[in-house]
Amino acid sequence: MIRHKKPDKNKALSLVKSSKSDYDFTISLPINEKSANTIVRNIYECFRMLGEALLISKGIQSDDHVVPIKELTNLKIKTTRPLMFLDYLRKIRRNINYYGYLASKKEAEDVLDFAKSNFIIIEKIVLEIIKLS
């Protein structure tokens, strides 16, 4: 469900800042079977927060994780990998959180590869959009 509220540029910028901080921490973690779930969840949250920041800057509040991710996948930007990977990431995170799925080291490496290739680009675009709103 989507609700309309007053746009909040400061809250949106705060979310972007928090997302970047979490991203920086997460990419510093050692990659192994024990850290795989944490890496996948944290990287997912970093991207979700960027999508949430876009929504908040537009005065939109969403009750689920699909809408913020969709907001990012709709961005018209060139990336090294398709942005639809974010929806795949959302599904893995859901399986980890609700079904006891254990991400593998290889999955964590794949998620980190995507993040390292795309996070900074997406963050920059999100900041530009928020500042113009």
- Intervals of the chain under pLDDT 70: 1
pLDDT score, position 33? 97
In the chain, the number of structural domains is 1
pLDDT score, position 73? 95
| Residue 68 structural domain | 2-132
pTM for this prediction: 0.95
Question: What amino acid is encoded at 97 in this protein?
Answer: N
pLDDT score, position 3? 78
Q: How distant is the alpha carbon of residue 83 from its chain centre?
A: 11
Task: Give one DSSP letter per residue of 82-125, joined into a string.
Answer: -TTHHHHHHHHHHHHHHH-----HHHHHHHHHHHHHHHHHHHHH
pLDDT score, position 63? 83
pLDDT score, position 104? 98
Q: What is the CATH number of the domain that holds 74?
A: 1.20.120
pLDDT score, position 107? 98
pLDDT score, position 125? 97
